[in-house]
Structure 1
Amino acid sequence: HLLASHYVERHVGAGSNGSHSTGAGEHCYYQGRIRGQPRSFAALSSCQGLRGVFSDGRATYLIEPQAGAEHGQGLRPHIVQRVPSCPRLGEPFHEAAPGGGGLSGPVRGFPLQVRRAQHTVHSETKYIELAVVNDHQLFLQLRKSVVLTSNFAKSVVNLADMIYKEQLNTRIVLVAMETWAAEDRIRMGQDSLETLNEFVKYRREGLAEHSDTVHLFSGRTFQSSRSGTAFVGGICSPARAGGVNEYGNVAAMAVTLAQTLGQNVGMMWNKHRTAAGDCRCPDSWLGCIMEDTGYYLPRKFSRCSIDEYNQFLQDGGGSCLFNKPLKLLDPPECGNGFVEAGEECDCGSLAECARSGGNCCKKCTLTHDAMCSDGLCCKGCKYEPRGVSCREAVNECDIPETCTGDSSQCPPNLHKLDGYFCENEQ
């Protein structure tokens, strides 16, 4: 997954001087496929052994170091577990109650008559800048180790990022992580919705880092059988951009995170439309992510969920998702889609370059006479002229962006300053 260049990791211990901040630590999080297996996938961490999920296209497996073996010498024993082909128990997430920030119709506060251009929603990569807080119970579950807790949480985000990248053209960028090593910083109840309300209060008062949404990774199992709670359509809102995810293995928590982030970006529970027969999941065996039933570790969003996300963006939601991080903390690597030190261009993997940009960029070097290879302001390997529209305004508070003439990227998404009257004098 992606780590922002300004990523902060904080461990909150006992007392007023118990907070300790560090950088990102070791880069050891990877996504890919098994060589020669086109239907395979892998999302793995190599920090202190292998941890994560991989599939050969027929079966999915979990791998993690054997408990108590992390301090041994030589080869480290691992546990490899095949994902069982049995229905998941319970419902995967808890929809916020009416009045608590959930949305059942069009996104509140965004007029519907002005819509983002359809091609922009699909073609422009979105970036969810995510902050994660690990509660004290998760710290205890992971043997009171800050390092193990951090690596576990990053592995969860890594797998969720792979799901979002493949299906939604959206990346999850981890900007901050906080671990409550001494005690919980909020009142933790058995009701996940109450916990969520307490958590978003803490987010406003206790977290300094900017993020698009903040999610709590808990070591608890909440009273509800649903494994996650989040505000529908709450992304970018300081008051409603949050979620709570209960304890499970890396794969289970990654699916829960995919669900709760899905709620944040406008996705609804598939139950009612599935029952009506108009939103059937394409994977009847594994099921789909935004469902309350299905088989273990679903990896696909239904067409309805994808449409809801795109509609949310077209209706003006998610305006904070269109700002691309300037650089990553990870070491430069040709093929990751980011132009880094020593590169002239980077159109992504071989498959991504074949879809777009490959004619302008070869091995992260621009081809003859090419100015660019990708971006909303790049056409035919040349910069679009200054003034060409690249991102429309979606409401009266939004400002349309135009190409600068000297860059392939559309400028950051800007809005009018507070104090201007918007539509209907809002």
Structure 2
Amino acid sequence: ASPSQHFTSPEVVIPLKVISRDKTAEALGWLSYSLRFGGQRHVVHMKAKKLLVSPHLPVFTYTEQHVLHQDQPFVQDDCYYHGFVEGVSESLVALSTCSGGFQGMLQINELAYEIKPIKLSVTFEHLLYKIDTNETQFPPMRCGLTEEKIARQLELQMSHNFTLKQSSYLGWWIHSRFLEVAVVVDYHRYVFSERNVTTIKLDIINVVNIVNSLYQALEIDIVLTGLEVWTTNNPINTSDDLDYVLDYFCTWKQNNLDGRLPYDVVHLFMKEYYGGGKLGVAYVGGACRALYNCGVELFRDNQHSNFAIAMSHELGHNLGMWHDERYCGCGSRTCIMNRYYTFSFRFSNCSYAEYWDNRRNTCIYSLAHESDVFKIKYCGNEVVDAGEECDCGSVQQCARNPCCQSNCTFSPGSSCSFGLCCKDCKFRPPGTLCRHPLNKCDLPEWCNGTSHQCPDDVYVQDGSPCSDNAYCYKKTCNTHDLQCKEIFGRDARSASQSCYNKINTQGNRFGHCDIVGTTYTKCSEPDIMCGRVQCENVSRLPFLQSHFTVHQLHFNQNTCWGTDYHLGMSIPDIGQVKEGTSCAPGKICISKKCASMVQPSEICQPETCNMRGVCNNKHHCHCNHEWSPPNCSNKGYGGSEDSGPPPGKPVPEFNVTRTTTANVPGYATGTTTGNAPGPETGSATGNVPGHASGITTGNAPGPETGSATGNVPGHAPGTTTGNAPGPETGSATGNVPGHAPGTTTGNAPGPETGSATGNVPGRTTGITMGNSPGATPESTMKYTSGQTTGKTGRTQSTTGNAPGGTTGHVTGSALKKRNSWILWPLILLLLILCLLAMHYLAMKKKKKTDIGQAKPKEKKVEEMEKEEVIPN
């Protein structure tokens, strides 16, 4: 342990998972564990930390020949957690489960603990160390910055920030920023880690996880973007004083590292020991400055919590923080930026003020290097690079992907693995809607049947009218009124122009036209309608997130409502007047300026489309449904050259159309078309060898209709039409060679009617009517009588064909009432069966009596036969 912090004797603990009754918490990814230590039971709630490590973390090492080697090892990114201890307001949890147990830090009020799993424990045992921060036991360790380097200028105390420094640090309005950190590990630390780069990688990520948890108070995410390990020797002189080592390292990284790794700050972790109690050194305010964005820390043991405090301290210097003075406070005995390293979890009010006062930290406003990380190309990066058919990621991920293999090729039989036009590893049929229009300024796109990708997103040409005094701009139709309704509810509307004049010329967070650095810019008079939206007729206050503030101003009988926006907010500004909003006659807001409206392209005008469509952003006509591109002059199905082929016929939204065809090998194809406007339509046709195709078409005006005709070569066509006025009608005809066409028509006025005909060669047309009112489809075949009986339920048709006969079509429908004449043959059949049974029983009784009288004679014959076989 470092001299100023050491561990007490460990306590053995066994974390027990707590099953939460709060299903919402589980759904959001929260886990809970119970640990008993210090004589008390503590429940830890934690959630996986995202954006801790860059995807495909680049790791650089050196071969024995001092040749630089780059690798992108697999980094498990779902096993690092942040959280809190239940019932403790001042608590902090930063744990890793990547090694099979809990490793990391817990803070409960003023007490700190480090937890590590016991290797090979079968009962999930862990060692929990209490960290003692008693400074009097050992000589204190300090930051390497001397008093001369950190001396503050006297005028700082007289500045306007001095009052801010004395105020409480609690409740400051801060928002997410990202500090991208690269780490270099020296050769001696590599040897200390048993020359195991994987061990070093896990140690570094664990440390960064703890540092990240400490910086959450500032809403700064620490992101590890790269790692280099000096595996052969140290390329710089590390034996000089730590201040010189910092200079050497900063010079080395400019010449060797800047072109290889993306970072805002890079730090060197060393195993060396320096006299004078120095543990680290860094340039104050060096972040985002190429010459000074570096630091050095001594990582001499395996106590991650202690080292994380040192790294947090030096990163604070990079972000512009100085050492705390007497008047600085954080609600604890010491703070992170104390000149002597102590185990503290908080930044002081001075650190907050210095951090916010450093205007050079512009690089941490976003993940500026995110795109650079994704440029690394290899099979397994989940990005389809040149030469790859697909990329499903790791071997484990590919095992769950039915479309793509781990060698970045499609699985057998697959045509695609992702995309809006890919389903079940196959291309979606042409005409499948793959991108719905979002609003009246957007246009739909359809799959083309040959690609997994939906066509490029196209929208209505900028400058096209979309409502009263509003125009399409970048796929949106924006107005001041609509924006007010989005914020304050449907009754709200845009305020009078006097509100815009009064507020947007103030140049503060409630009224401005731009933010330059840290300064709000007032709106000039022509641009006041493009600043912040001002509303009236507000009847309720909206629920807003991330410290948005609602502002209300009364003046001259006007009430103006608006919202604020300030530096560091990580979500879109809802109160800034949206791009394309009309700000004056013939003008719209563009880049917060009231500029002349974008004139529609002369290449494409409504006249170009014959007034039967609109122009899209590629200056092509998007035709209405009954007309076809390119100029909407011919009949067609709508769309444009850029939208993909629309469906051949309009399909009502949310309707379902089902078609089923059963075909016998070697025979004509059965074709089914369902055209009813109801929610579901469908029919089925089965074809018999040597006979014509069965075709079914439903054209009745009711929700579901259908008719069927089967024709045989050389004979007159059989035609059937269902025209009953009821919701569903249908008929079927099967024709046999040498016989007149059989025709059946079902026209019952009930809700569902139908008829079916199955025909056999050499027989007259067989006619069968299926009248079961049940809802479950079923069908019955009867060949011996040359008839087919169909019994079906709703909205489906089934065809059964007798061997050797013409195509038989069965259309099942239900009548309201079962036909009573079917019952009489059944009753007569039952009477005949009863008479036959009685006759059979009487004959059997008589025969039994005759057999009883003949028994002696049989015995005599049997004895005579027996005597014949006895030898002389």
Shift of 1:177: 0.9
* 2:375 pairs with 1:323: no
Spell out the pairing of 1:171-320 with structure 2 (5 A cutoff).
Answer: 171-207=221-257, 208-247=260-299, 248=301, 249-270=303-324, 273-274=325-326, 278-284=327-333, 287-293=334-340, 296-312=342-358, 316-320=359-363
Instruction: Output one character per residue of 1:201-236: Cα deviation in whole Å (capped at 9) or x when no partner.
Output: 121112111211100111222223121100011111
Amino acid at match of 2:331: P
What residue is the counterpart of 2:545 in the other structure? 356
Change (3 A) 1:191 1:65: farther
| Residue aligned with 1:83, SS | strand
Please state how far the C-alpha of 1:297 moved relative to its aligned partner: 1.4
Letter in 1 for 2:116: E
- Whole-Å separation in 1 of the counterparts to 2:328 and 2:580: 41
Please tell me whether residue 59 in structure 1 is matched to residue 102 in structure 2. no
**C-alpha distance 384-131 of structure 1, shift in aligned 2 (>3 A):** farther
SS in 2 for 1:79: strand
User: Structure 2 counterpart of 1:299, which letter?
Assistant: F
Matching residue of 1:79:
127
State percent identity of aligned pairs.
Answer: 22
The match for 1:151 among 197, 202, 207 is 202
**Matches of 1:19 and 1:3 in 2, distance apart?**
20
Question: Does the CA-based 8 Å contact 1:130-1:214 persist in structure 2?
Answer: yes
Q: Which residue of 2 aligns with 1:169?
A: 219
Structure 1: distance between partners of 2:110 and 2:228: 37
1:379 maps to what in 2? Answer: 574
CA distance in 2, matches of 1:75, 1:179: 36
8 Å CA contact retained: 1:11, 1:19: yes
Structure 1: where are the runs of 5+ without partners?
107-111, 113-120, 332-353, 360-373, 389-400, 405-426
Opposite residue 321 of structure 2, the aligned amino acid is: M
Alignment partners' CA distance in 2, 1:186 and 1:76: 44
Amino acid at match of 1:258: S
Distance 1:232 1:75 in 2: 48
SS in 1 for 2:225: strand
Confirm whether residue 11 of structure 1 aligns to residue 61 of structure 2: yes
| 1:417 counterpart residue number | none
1:250 and 1:122 map into 2 onto residues whose CA distance is 30
Listed as ranges, the matches of 1:17-166 within 5 Å are: 17=67, 19-23=69-73, 25-27=75-77, 28-49=79-100, 50-57=102-109, 59-65=111-117, 69=119, 72=120, 74=122, 78-87=126-135, 89-95=139-145, 104=152, 122-165=173-216
How far apart, CA to CA, are the structure 1 residues paired with 2:291 and 2:67? 28
Distance 1:403 1:84, change over 3 A: farther
Using the alignment, how far apart are the partners of 1:302 and 1:268 within structure 2?
11
Query: Matched residues in 1 for 2:106 and 2:344: separation?
Result: 13
Q: 1:243, CA displacement in angstroms?
A: 0.5
Shift in alpha-carbon separation, 1:260–1:136, aligned structure 2, 3 A: same
Instruction: Tell whether the 8 Å contact from 2:133 to 2:343 is kept in structure 1 after alignment.
Output: no
Task: Using the TM superposition, give the Cα deviation of residue 98 of structure 1 relative to its aligned residue in structure 2, in angstroms.
Answer: 6.8
Report if aligned partners of 1:231, 1:240 keep a CA contact under 8 Å in 2: yes
The Cα shift of 1:74 comes to: 4.9
CA distance in 1, matches of 2:577, 2:140: 51
1:231, 1:143 → 2: CA distance? 31
- Tell me: CA distance 1:39–1:281, structure 2 relative to 1, closer, same or farther (3 Å): closer
Could you say what secondary structure the match of 2:277 adopts? coil
Could you tell me whether the CA contact under 8 Å between 1:132 and 1:214 is conserved in 2?
A: yes
Q: Is the 8 A contact 1:191 1:224 kept in 2?
A: no
Contact 2:180 2:222 in 1 (8 A): yes
Instruction: Please give the secondary structure, in 1, of the residue aligned with 2:55.
Output: strand
Asked whether the 8 Å contact 2:173–2:547 carries over to 1, the reply is no
Q: What SS class does the counterpart of residue 71 from structure 2 fall into?
A: strand
Q: Distance in 2 between matches of 1:147 and 1:305?
A: 35
CA gap of 1:402–1:141, structure 2 versus 1, over 3 A, is: farther
Count residues with an aligned counterpart.
Answer: 324
Structure 1: which amino acid aligns with 2:311? L
Q: Distance in 1 between matches of 2:242 and 2:210?
A: 23
Aligned twin of 1:115: none
Match of 1:416 in 2: none
Q: 1:122 Cα deviation (Å)?
A: 4.5
Using the alignment, how far apart are the partners of 1:173 and 1:64 within structure 2?
23
Higher relative contact order (CA 8 A, sep 6+): 1
CA distance in 1, matches of 2:233, 2:273: 17
How far apart, CA to CA, are the structure 2 residues paired with 1:148 and 1:212?
25
TM-score (norm 2): 0.34
Q: Is the 8 A contact 1:124 1:322 kept in 2?
A: no
TM-superposition CA deviations, 1:139-177 (whole Å, max 9, x none): 222232211111111111111111111x21211111101
Partner AA of 1:378 in structure 2: D
> Which structure 2 residue ranges, 5 or more long, are not aligned?
1-48, 155-159, 161-171, 375-381, 383-542, 549-568, 582-589, 594-872
Secondary structure of 2:275's aligned partner: coil
In structure 1, distance between residues paired with 2:232 and 2:84: 39
Change (3 A) 1:279 1:62: same
CA distance in 2 between partners of 1:310 and 1:135 (Å): 33
Flag the structure with larger Rg.
Answer: 2
Query: Secondary structure of the residue that 1:379 maps to in structure 2?
Result: coil
Deviation track 1:242-278 (CA, whole Å, cap 9, x = no partner) reads: 00011242111111111111111111112xx31xxx2
CA distance 1:147–1:78, change in 2 (3 Å): farther
Tell whether the 8 Å contact from 1:64 to 1:79 is kept in structure 2 after alignment. yes
Q: Separation in 1 of the partners of 2:275 and 2:194?
A: 24
**Structure 1 residue 387: Cα displacement:** 9.3
Shift in alpha-carbon separation, 1:188–1:13, aligned structure 2, 3 A: farther
Instruction: Describe the SS at the equivalent of 1:48.
Output: coil
Deviation at 1:92, TM superposition (A): 3.0
3-state secondary structure, aligned to 2:211: helix
